[in-house]
């Protein structure tokens, strides 16, 4: 992404020289496109509020940041009348609030490094003396840690019943995602040379992981059988080494399967099984939960 593309998509960034400069630094550092998109979207939202209030973002104070947080927490909820808990009637979810504040905090870190500010109005929290284990950290917005959702045993069986009717590629992807606790990008980025069928392991390359750490993970004997069937089927699509999972559509035949296509597959399975909350990340949560029960 160059500056013109960025300003065409988020015009407000073009009106703030330092904001555009900060974002291009991340582009030059090779951050993932989705990371750049999230940073740009979050900072653009903050800059728009600054313009509405007549505030120069370079000299904004903690009071201005507090006003921004108040605005985020008081927005009408998209859930409308379907309010099921006290914190769902209005405002963004806690995790979304954290995501909105990250680019703003990083932007002010950049301004400090450039000598344009003495402090960061967002900050990273502080420790309150007098608490056990060195004190309790207080951030600008408290971070809530909620347990991940996992399906009940019956819901999982319903998903598996629907998945059993899926093409072999989709079945082996579900199986590997569960066995190895793979994230969506890790799964879709697997290559043929990442597999070690003799030891029933696969390599998750560092560049596809969230923490940029490579790992080798096992998969089950049952998954090995399905995988062998898929490899035979894949050979009818392409014999070339490279991405493990290939598209079979007429438009993108033999091209690497995209993240969005996989998300649509899982969404279709979830709807057919009547388990609306089931997603591509559910297999990872379920895998780790089941491992914890052993």
In this structure, is residue 145 part of a structural domain?
no
**pLDDT for res 94:** 76
Angstrom distance (rounded) from CA 224 to CA 103: 43
Residue where the block lists tokens 């819901």: 155
In this structure, is residue 230 part of a structural domain?
yes
64/36 same-domain check: yes
133/172 same-domain check: no
14/123 same-domain check: yes
45/69 same-domain check: yes
Q: Number of C-alpha atoms within 13 angstroms, CB side, residue 196?
A: 9
30/88 same-domain check: yes
**pLDDT for res 140:** 65
**pLDDT for res 130:** 52
**pLDDT for res 96:** 80
17/75 same-domain check: yes
258/163 same-domain check: yes
Angstrom distance (rounded) from CA 212 to CA 197: 24
**pLDDT for res 48:** 94
Domain with residue 205: its CATH number is 1.10.443.10
SS3 call for 48:
helix
**pLDDT for res 30:** 82
Per-residue pLDDT of the chain (294 residues; tens, 9 = 90+): 677 787 788 899 889 999 999 999 998 888 878 888 889 999 999 999 999 999 999 999 999 999 998 888 887 655 444 433 434 445 677 778 888 899 999 999 999 999 999 999 987 755 445 555 444 445 666 666 778 899 999 999 999 999 999 999 999 999 999 999 999 999 999 999 999 999 999 999 999 988 889 999 999 999 999 999 999 999 999 999 999 999 999 999 999 999 999 999 999 999 999 999 999 999 999 998 887 776
157/287 same-domain check: yes
Q: What are the phi and psi torsion angles at 128 (to 5°)?
A: -95, 120
DSSP string for residues in 64-121: HHHHHHHHHHTSBPTTTT---SGGGSBS--HHHHHHHHHHHHHHHHHHHHTTS-SS-S
Number of structural domains the chain divides into:
2
**pLDDT for res 139:** 62
**pLDDT for res 84:** 39
Q: What's the domain range around 69?
A: 3-138
């Amino acid at each position: 992404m160059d500056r013109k593309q960025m300003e065409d998509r988020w015009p407000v960034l073009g009106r703030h020289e330092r904001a555009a400069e900060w974002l291009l630094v991340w582009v030059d550092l090779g951050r993932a496109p989705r990371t750049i998109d999230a940073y740009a979207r979050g900072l653009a939202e903050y800059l728009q509020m600054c313009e509405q209030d007549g505030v120069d973002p370079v000299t904004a104070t903690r009071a201005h940041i507090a006003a921004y947080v108040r605005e985020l927490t008081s927005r009408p909820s998209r859930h409308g009348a379907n309010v099921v808990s006290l914190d769902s009637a209005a405002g963004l979810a806690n995790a979304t609030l954290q995501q909105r504040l990250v680019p703003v905090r990083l932007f002010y870190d950049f301004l400090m490094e450039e000598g344009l500010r003495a402090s960061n109005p967002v900050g990273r929290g502080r420790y309150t003396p007098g608490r056990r284990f060195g004190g309790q950290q207080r951030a600008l917005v408290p971070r809530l840690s909620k347990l991940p959702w996992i399906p009940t045993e019956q819901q999982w069986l319903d998903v598996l019943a629907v998945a059993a009717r899926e093409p072999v590629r989709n079945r082996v992807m579900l199986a590997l995602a569960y066995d190895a606790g793979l994230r969506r990008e890790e799964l879709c980025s697997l290559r043929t040379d990442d597999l070690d069928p003799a030891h029933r392991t696969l390599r998750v390359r560092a560049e596809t992981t969230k923490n940029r750490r490579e790992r080798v993970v096992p998969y089950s004997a049952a998954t090995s059988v399905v995988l062998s069937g898929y490899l035979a089927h894949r050979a009818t699509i392409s014999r070339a080494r490279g991405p493990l999972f290939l598209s079979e559509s007429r438009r993108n035949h033999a091209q690497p399967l995209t993240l969005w296509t996989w998300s649509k597959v899982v969404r279709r399975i979830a709807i057919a099984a009547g388990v609306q909350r089931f997603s591509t990340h559910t297999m990872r949560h379920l895998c780790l939960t089941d491992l914890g029960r052993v």
